[in-house]
Structure 1
Amino acid sequence: MKNLFALLFFLLSLNGFSQNPITKTVGEFTELKAYDLINIEMIQSDENRLEISGKNANDVVVINKNGTLKIRMNLDEIFDGDDTFIKLYYTSVDVIDTNEGAYVYSDDTIEQYEIELKCQEGGKIKIPIEVKQAELRAVTGGILELKGTVNNQDIRVNTGGIFNGEELKAVTASVAVRAGGEVRAYASELMDIKIRAGGDVYVYGNPTTVKENTALGGRIKRMD
């Protein structure tokens, strides 16, 4: 019986050690690219490092080349990162790009002059921002969910992309939708909308001017 308890304790200890996060220093970067269904929480810090936990933590590949940080699974676990979790501590970032169902999120507000956010292939980004200029892209099922403030936002959505930005308070917005997609955008002064081959745009903020240009289908609806 004592031997049985000793064995159980040993196995539980091994399991506990296996749950400890893997820590890596990544160096400075300006662009983040995420792949393979990986979940990444971005945390503002005075250093650039990450902590990897969850299933297949040892199979995460991290490459920083010329300031572009790529995080993906190795070839044996490709598209199998949905139970893999990463805390990414960072000093600054200019571009966030999610692919292949990866999910990047943060509770920390990104405050800077401009930001570029891109989602494709089912990737998702959910963050608060306070910037002057935002370049925003959601294509092939990508989802952008943003809140905060921006002077001008340039939104491009196509082939099933979704932009949920009714809580991102903008002064002006340029919106282009092609081949389907859905946009919920806010502007207080001007919203310039172009839809080609279907798509839906929901207008928030009761902007002073709304320019509408649609071809081959598409719907525009004012929500305020």
Structure 2
Amino acid sequence: MKKVVIGLMLGVFQLSFGQFSRNVGEFSSLKVYGKIDVVLVPSSESKVESTASDSEIETINKNGELRIRMTPSKILQGDKVAVTVFYENLNDIQANLSSTVSSPETTKAKMLRLSSNEGSKIVLNVATGKLNIKTNSGGEINVTGRADYQDIIVNSGGKYHGQSLESESATVTANAGGIAEVFATETVDATTRAGGIIDVYGDPADRKYKNVIGGKVNFK
């Protein structure tokens, strides 16, 4: 009897802090909105866990695209929320509106798309054949690991830190104050516009680059 009472007390204690685990169905695309810190965990099941209460987080899976956002009432409070996303296959990650996405594990996919917008941040170690990167409006992406080929677009003050991501080839464009750091050992095609800056690492033999209206390409 005493064990039952203790168990009930622990359950009430946990609920007072607001915790939930939610099965969300299979998905391959993830979009996060608002002040949510997402940690990705590869798994044999697709679910979302959080220390927030069940009523504070919205999860919508539409045709394999999982969207996670705070409810309007939680947004008004201005607090950050921690969410753990367990996934089976993931090849598209988008962080929006000051959210963050990271993982203690290597994110693996044949092709991987990463997008960070409106002051959001993505920090991942990856293993992929083709990596597509896009940052806008102060978004930031920091990637390590390995990709055969990279296609990178950095706009409007966005930042891409990929100097520790090994790759053979890269196509990279930095616009309107965007900053990109890219590693390529064989070929690079780099274009800057309106104050964009590209730093190229890896000493590629085949180099194509173009600066327009004050942009700059640096070979490190």
How high is the TM-score relative to the length of structure 2? 0.90
3-state SS of paired residue (1:108): strand
Corresponding position of 2:41 = 43
Tell me, yes or no, if structure 1 residue 85 matches structure 2 residue 79. no
Per-residue CA deviation, residues 183-205 of structure 1 (Å, 9 max, x unaligned), is 01000011110111111111111
Q: What is the count of residue pairs matched by the alignment?
A: 213
Tell me, yes or no, if structure 1 residue 64 matches structure 2 residue 82. no
Corresponding position of 2:146 = 149
Per-residue CA deviation, residues 96-141 of structure 1 (Å, 9 max, x unaligned), is 0110011010121122211111111111111111111111101111
Q: Which residue, 14, 17, 34 being the options, matches 2:15?
A: 17
Paired letter, 1:155? I
Structure 1 gaps, min length 5: 1-10
Q: Which residue, 73, 88, 96 being the options, matches 1:76?
A: 73
Q: Which residue, 168, 180, 184 being the options, matches 2:181?
A: 184
Q: Please say if residues 147 and 168 of structure 1, whose CA atoms lie closer than 8 Å, have aligned partners that are also in contact.
A: yes
- What fraction of aligned residue pairs are identical, expressed as a percent? 32
Corresponding position of 2:97 = 100
Measure how far apart 1:49 and its partner are.
0.5
Structure 1's consecutive aligned runs of 4 or more residues displaced over 3 angstroms after TM superposition are 11-17, 79-82
* CA distance in structure 1 between the partners assigned to 2:77 and 2:17 by the alignment: 18
3-state SS of paired residue (1:112): strand
* CA distance in structure 1 between the partners assigned to 2:75 and 2:147 by the alignment: 36
Q: Please say if residues 36 and 80 of structure 1, whose CA atoms lie closer than 8 Å, have aligned partners that are also in contact.
A: no
RMSD: 2.0
Paired letter, 1:220? V
* CA distance in structure 1 between the partners assigned to 2:173 and 2:77 by the alignment: 33
Paired letter, 1:169? E
Paired letter, 1:29? F
Measure how far apart 1:27 and its partner are.
0.2
Tell me, yes or no, if structure 1 residue 123 matches structure 2 residue 120. yes
Using a 3 Å threshold, how does the CA distance of structure 1 residues 125 and 81 change in structure 2: closer, same or farther?
A: farther
Corresponding position of 1:111 = 108
Per-residue CA deviation, residues 15-52 of structure 1 (Å, 9 max, x unaligned), is 54323621000000111000011000000000001111
3-state SS of paired residue (2:27): coil
Q: Please say if residues 114 and 132 of structure 2, whose CA atoms lie closer than 8 Å, have aligned partners that are also in contact.
A: yes
Corresponding position of 1:220 = 217
Is the deviation greater in 98-107 or in 80-89? 80-89
